[in-house]
Chain A
């Protein structure tokens, strides 16, 4: 999966913003993480072309960009669905039935964790604690938290999300 961009187009899109954020640091290397975020916000994913462009803009070795992009889990090196479900499976959520909720999500979407539905609507990721244990079980869809999940409630949420996007597309 690629961003379908050229180095020239990425450079044209992002040079100013990346140079701006680089001013916050005494060394250019520090701007690699924010630069990757800027690229991801624009193109949805980051890939070899993005690493090359960032390395040129910041004048740092490309491997420095790649090693950061491949270490941190929030840089998407493959394309995500319209809805990215980050489902918490850590202890507090597990104690309150997260495993059952997850099984329902997998059944409803017919995918496993780490996969995207064939229609490209949903990507499911199992994640570690997302800091909302008092309202467990929880998941984040794109940037929104959903609390107190149950096997039934999660299906209603997914149905609604699917309906929303299909209506928006009309």
Chain B
């Protein structure tokens, strides 16, 4: 078993209590950061740790912070993206429900680094327990002097608030998330300008994922060398993988990113329920699926990109032989169509149309040209929308057409997939 850092206290039912957290080394990372580093030194440390964002894009965290201007004259904002909604993903919920102080401590360190005095935690509305646990953690952190005025005797002050989402997947996209905190519909905005320059209330803003923040206390407590000693050189540190679907032992696993997809599914997920896998979606449903012949791929950002997929949210959904690929594609496309904010025509219209074709194929009424028509639709969406929702939808659908054309053909020709 690999050493567990992020999940160290996850089985302790009292881990959300601040005294339990402190006893296991909690808030010493913050003390070190505040006591021994200037904000710029904190940014440099995070840069040298090689930490990359755990929300989906894998952007280097320290670099993201360094884009915040030093002399804008405006307030700076820090936001946590806890709008976890990518199907197949449930790691942030676990972190917030079981060990929320990792998130709070990480956010305080990050706010200090970017010179922010107000932080918002944007938690999806359906995560009732996460909301109350993070609320309690914030209150306890205020009481202990980790939040509020002059934190730990320094001249750094920070207020932290929860902003509850209300059921919109699109608010996981950072510009939509910021719109939502501003009290508007969650519709993405064109970048640039990036949030680091003009984000929340047009002020410099950093948005990071829950797991990204949760890594920070460990980096400052254990050191950069400890962090970089874990996993591949270009994707260091512990990573949470969410395993679901046709597996014998689904769950959240903390592992270095040099593990292969096959190893993850066989040795941690304990294999397919029927004994044989057909494919797996490696990083939430936006990530193109990988057929079982490609399971030797390493689960890091660049290796998955090299096989035309992505690590995304690391929500791994396993499909065994019984899974119908066109059905999975239909359900996934319906999801994206439903969650499209409606701003860009290619996404709004294209996905509605694609879902209609996929329903027709699944019902046995598909036309011979339908797969080609789906390809055309995907080409009309990919790269032509404001945000990545349309891209993910088209990319994921294309992978099913590319890897499993025979399943579509069989459904169209024979009205069923031969066993």
Contacts and interface: CB of A to CB of B under 8 A. Distances in A.
A56 B180 CA distance: 20
A25 B180 CA distance: 12
B107 to A, nearest CB: 15
Interface in B277-299: 281, 285
Q: In this complex, which of A24, A60, A129 has the most chain B Cβ atoms within 10 angstroms of its Cβ?
A: A129
Interface string A1-32: 00000000000000000000000111101111
Given A27-B182, A68-B184, A95-B245, A143 B128 contact: yes
A133 B90 contact: yes
Interface in B140-189: 159, 161, 163-169, 180-186
Given A95-B317, A129-B87, A133-B244, A74 B125 contact: yes
B267 to A, nearest CB: 17
A131 B250 contact: no
Output the residue of A64, A90, A133, A135 with the most chain B CB within 10 A.
A133
Given A29-B184, A67-B185, A73 B87 contact: no
Contacts of B250: 133-136
A89 B338 CA distance: 12
Given A131-B85, A133-B315, A24 B161 contact: yes
B251 interface: yes
Contact of B88 (A29, A67, A89, A133): A133
A90 B90 CA distance: 13
A76 B85 CA distance: 20
Interface residues of A, number: 41
Contacts, number: 135
A160 B321 CA distance: 36
Interface in A89-123: 89-92, 94-96
A147 B376 CA distance: 39
Interface string A118-156: 000000000111111111100010010000000000000
A133 B317 contact: yes
B339 interface: yes
B242 interface: yes
A33 interface: yes
Given A128-B335, A131-B127, A30 B183 contact: yes
Interface string B225-258: 0000000000000000011111000111000000
B329 to A, nearest CB: 10
Contacts of A86: 126
B310 interface: no
B300 interface: no
B317 A74 contact: no
B217 to A, nearest CB: 23
Interface in B307-348: 315, 317, 319, 323, 327-328, 331-332, 335, 338-339
Please indicate which of the listed interface residues B128, B183, B335 has the most CB atoms of chain A within 10 Å of its own CB. Answer: B183
Contacts of A95: 245-246, 317, 319, 323, 328
B93 interface: yes
A74 B245 CA distance: 27
Given A37-B164, A92-B244, A95-B246, A128 B84 contact: no
Given A27-B182, A30-B183, A33-B180, A133 B319 contact: no
B183 A128 contact: no
A75 interface: yes
A133 B344 CA distance: 30
B202 to A, nearest CB: 11
A94 to B, nearest CB: 5
A91 B168 contact: no
> 4 smallest A-B Cβ distances: which pairs?
A72-B166, A133-B244, A73-B167, A29-B183
24 contacts: A26-B201, A27-B201, A29-B183, A30-B182, A33-B164, A34-B163, A37-B166, A68-B185, A71-B168, A72-B125, A74-B166, A92-B87, A95-B328, A127-B126, A127-B167, A128-B85, A128-B87, A130-B126, A131-B90, A131-B92, A131-B127, A133-B90, A133-B242, A143-B128
Interface of A: 24-27, 29-34, 36-37, 60, 64, 67-68, 71-75, 86, 89-92, 94-96, 127-136, 140, 143
Given A127-B126, A128-B339, A133-B317, 12 more contacts: A25-B183, A34-B164, A67-B184, A74-B125, A75-B166, A91-B317, A91-B328, A92-B88, A95-B245, A128-B85, A131-B89, A131-B127
